[in-house]
Amino acid sequence: MKRIFVVFGTRPEVIKLAPVVRALRERGGVSLTLCSTGQHRRMLDDALDAMELRPDIDLAVMQTAQHPTDLLGRLLLSLRPALEECAPDVVVVQGDTTTVAAAAFAGQLHGAAVAHVEAGLRTGDRRRPFPEEINRRVTGVLADYHFAPTTRARDALLAENVPSEAIFVTGNTIIDALRWMRDRVADGPVSCGLRTDGRRLILVTAHRRESFGQGLRELCRALREIAERFADVRIVYPVHLNPNVQAAAREGLAGAERVELIEPLGYREFVALLASAHLVLTDSGGIQEEAPALGKPVLVLREKTERPEGVAAGVVKLVGTDRSRIVQEVTRLLCDPGAYAAMARGVDVYGDGRAATRIAEVLVDGRMQTPAFSG
């Protein structure tokens, strides 16, 4: 029986790995150990509840205002006894966090193969996003199984001399998770405690490290201007718990009419809110994938993205954090029905809902039986 050790530390990792865990359990023939590092404790616990997962091991490395260097050190030290005890054949990681890079390194040091879910995403700039681009490049060097969500991601790995037989184009598991949760949202009422009063809802998320400081201040100025200019708009901003984000949002948007700052939502509530949104402003990677699948135009608050497929399809646009540019692009979508319709197309450029099945097939049988995702 193959021993598989699944590591996650943040909310997106839980959401994107949950379909893989379910697919592995359905196939059987494996011994699964779920290890939580607790990199982002509160939001992580919310995601675990929403995705109906319970970790077997909780390393609880979270500390207030932790520096990535300190976090990396604690992760490596904490993972060692867990890996020694479980002696896994495969360590599964997802994405581009410090947890991912540390677990991939630790897994290799303990003789396990490393499987990287969402492999091959690249901006080509090590500082954008930081430290995510570095983390995923490091993990790409360490991984034995590269589960690329798209053909573009596969091509990026091939350009880095990753052997073609180690790359599997699966689609992104976020689409699997979104469809699973969308069905549950549709089954019953979900309330976020918000009222739009018939106004068009603009959903905002922003938390990337490279936006700290001036970038977040510019965003807040833009949101104020949009709210003042359009009386039929309501802006909802679930504010990340990072103190840098909290301080900028609370200071920059204090007293702004029709701008609602709320606590981070559980995934079930967030999917319901996303489904109700008119358009989305975000610097999140996952939301760049989820929103187009629900037909929501996305303006990305970054200069570069590792997910260019949505941009190429015309449903995502990069706008950065310049105040005037954000206001200009939001105004265009609010005032030009044609421009809005061109971006508000439900497209599955990132997956077909069968990514987890493909990954489980490879991990258990050594090959994909389901045809590769063609996106």
Long-range contacts of 188-197 (CB under 8 A, 24+ apart): 190/268, 190/269, 190/272, 191/269, 192/262, 192/265, 192/269, 192/272, 192/273, 193/262, 194/236, 194/260, 194/262, 194/273, 196/234, 196/276, 197/234
In the residue annotation, 132 being an active-site residue is answered as: yes
- Which of 13, 46, 58, 132 is flagged as catalytic? 132
In the residue annotation, 13 being an active-site residue is answered as: no
**Angle made by CA atoms 6, 49, 288, in degrees to the nearest 5:** 75
Angle formed by the axes of helices 173-187 and 285-293, nearest 10°: 60
In whole angstroms, how far apart are CA 137 and each of 38, 146, 177?
A: 22, 12, 25
Pairing assessment for the beta strands 57-58 and 90-94 based on DSSP bridges: unpaired
- Which of 40, 41, 182, 207 is flagged as catalytic? 207
pLDDT attached to residue 44: 82
Tokens 């410090």 appear where?
98
pLDDT attached to residue 196: 61
CA distance 361 to 368: 5
Say yes or no: domain 190-343 is CATH 3.40.50.2000: yes
**Angle made by CA atoms 155, 161, 164, in degrees to the nearest 5:** 60
Q: Which amino acid is at 96?
A: D
List, for the chain, all residue ranges whose pLDDT scores fall below the cut of 70.
Answer: 186-196
- Which of 46, 58, 96, 260 is flagged as catalytic? 96
In the residue annotation, 257 being an active-site residue is answered as: no
Q: Checking phi first, is residue 161 left (phi over 0); if not, alpha (psi -120 to 50) or beta?
A: left
pLDDT attached to residue 200: 95
In the residue annotation, 146 being an active-site residue is answered as: no
Domain ranges of the chain: 2-172+351-365, 190-343
Tell me the backbone φ, ψ of residue 239, rounded to 5 degrees: -90, 125
pLDDT attached to residue 195: 62
pLDDT attached to residue 183: 83
- Which of 13, 46, 58, 118 is flagged as catalytic? 118
CA distance 346 to 101: 33
In the residue annotation, 207 being an active-site residue is answered as: yes
Q: Which of 43, 299, 350, 6 is nearest to 177 (CA)?
A: 350
The reply to whether 190-343 shares the fold of 2-172+351-365 is: yes
CATH class of domain segment(s) 2-172+351-365: alpha beta
pLDDT attached to residue 193: 58
